[in-house]
Structure 1
Amino acid sequence: MAVELGIQLRRDVKPGLDEAGVKLFLVSIGTWERSGQFADVTGFPRDCLLADPGSVTYEALGLVKGLQQTFLAKETAFSFLGRLRRPGGMADLKDVMGRWKPWVPPKQDQALQQGGMFVFDGPRCVFSHFDQATGAHADLAEVLGLAQQLGGSLAASAATASMDCGCEEPAQQQQ
């Protein structure tokens, strides 16, 4: 699902954020080396990826993790039902499944980690969504609209928002 979301963020959200001067970061479990494979598959810009091999960011944000949420939650079924009802709603998933490769996270329990979406204006979180189950992501149009409304104030704070999150950043890897 992270691959599908990466494609959607790159294609449907990032251009609007770029136009508004808002920086987008995608934090993902795994190593910086693995993020290169993610970028290759999704087309997501590598300079906007942050690798979190120790799940520090996920834990700090209190994101959901567990067997129930990953495989058995009713929200997973609802997320797929919503896709089936939208025209083209399964297209990205079908595309991804044709190229899917099993990526083993650094820690075994990270395979049960759910994600989320957050919009920060400086240190203040102005939007949060905690994925309650696999595929139960935030409404991308809502996130994009809010970020565009906030515009330039987000761009100024985005660079500092990514620091001290326990992530491996591109600049650190190129040294």
Structure 2
Amino acid sequence: GVNATSVYLDLPQGVEVDSALGEASMGIVERQTVLDGINSLIDQQTQVFQTMMYLGLLFTVVVMFNTMIMNVAERDFELATLRVLGASTRSLGTMLLFESLLIGIIGGIVGVLFAYGGAVGLAASFSSWQFFVPVTIVPSVAWQLMSGVIIIAAAMTPFGVWRLRRMDLVEKVKDLSQ
């Protein structure tokens, strides 16, 4: 099909454009050209959103890694004392795993809420009186986001266990007694 909306006119020198000419002007654009342009824009936007998603995942990994290391580092004395009193690295690792899972669940819920808020804000900036962009929460996407955060949180537990195993118990307990 063809959408006729404007015509390009090459006016001779000295001829001025008046309002009657503007009202009479039309354009002819092939429908396929318009569709190709729209599809190209959608592909570019999809790439931008995928890049943002992967950066978000990378950011989540970095934040959870930092959280795990700081979680163990802030409690060196307590964890060393538990180890000296007979707690196994496995039991302390299980404790760290459940802490990570709790952090992941809370982070996933907060992440879904912030993603929804960001989507509403983005849709509001695209919407106008001419058209409206609705935002709905797709449960499968929300579960994927939460699952990703929880999996990343659980995957950071071995770093905390590694730090527990490397811990010099004598030094930590000696520091505690001073």
TM category (shorter chain) comes to: under 0.3
RCO comparison, higher one (Cα < 8 Å, 6+): 1
| Larger helix proportion of the pair | 2
| Larger strand proportion of the pair | 1
